[in-house]
């Protein structure tokens, strides 16, 4: 069982992902703002963070940098975004993301990310 933090400003997206992760046997926590993601990460110490780039308060790149500054590499960070150009992927890696996933993604993609985060050193 992994603790997963979902950060997306679309409640339907976070609710659906949280429900799916729960069915897969994981604990899912959803927030809709970057500042809330930083607070939630302190509280739950997530194994995996699915982080949208376009958030209403702080963009996902800055959230990722802040998470890395505060928590190091304890969490596996995934840019779960609609931005999928090569330049977006490069920017995500530079901000500290471990993976980049363009929405919409499939169940197989989610399972692969769970495997990658389980294999990553915490």
117, 21 Cβ separation under 8 angstroms: no
- 121 pLDDT tier (thresholds 50, 70, 90): low
Question: Domains in the chain: how many in total?
Answer: 1
**Residue 61 belongs to what domain range?**
33-44+51-122
Q: Tell me if 21 is assigned to some domain.
A: no
For 10-20, what is each residue's pLDDT tens digit? 999 899 999 99
Q: Tell me if 90 is assigned to some domain.
A: yes
Q: Tell me if 23 is assigned to some domain.
A: no
Res 104: pLDDT? 87
Q: Tell me if 1 is assigned to some domain.
A: no
Q: Tell me if 25 is assigned to some domain.
A: no
The CATH number given to whatever domain includes residue 106 is 3.40.50.2300
Res 102: pLDDT? 92
For 72-93, what is each residue's pLDDT tens digit? 999 999 999 988 899 999 999 9
Mean pLDDT of the chain: 94
Q: Tell me if 8 is assigned to some domain.
A: no
Q: Tell me if 72 is assigned to some domain.
A: yes
Res 122: pLDDT? 52
pLDDT of 56 higher than 70: yes
CA dihedral sign of residues 27, 30, 34, 36:
negative
């Amino acid at each position: 069982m992994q603790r997963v933090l979902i950060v997306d400003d679309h409640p339907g997206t976070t609710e659906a992902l949280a429900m799916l992760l729960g069915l897969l046997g994981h604990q899912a926590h959803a927030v809709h703002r970057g500042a809330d993601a930083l607070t939630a990460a302190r509280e739950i110490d997530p194994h995996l963070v699915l982080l949208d780039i376009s958030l209403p308060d702080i963009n996902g790149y800055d959230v990722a940098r802040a998470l890395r500054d505060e928590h190091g590499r304890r969490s596996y960070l995934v840019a779960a975004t609609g931005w999928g150009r090569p330049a977006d992927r490069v920017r995500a890696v530079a901000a500290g993301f471990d993976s980049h996933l363009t929405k919409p993604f499939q169940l197989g993609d989610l399972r692969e990310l769970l495997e990658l985060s389980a294999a990553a050193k915490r």
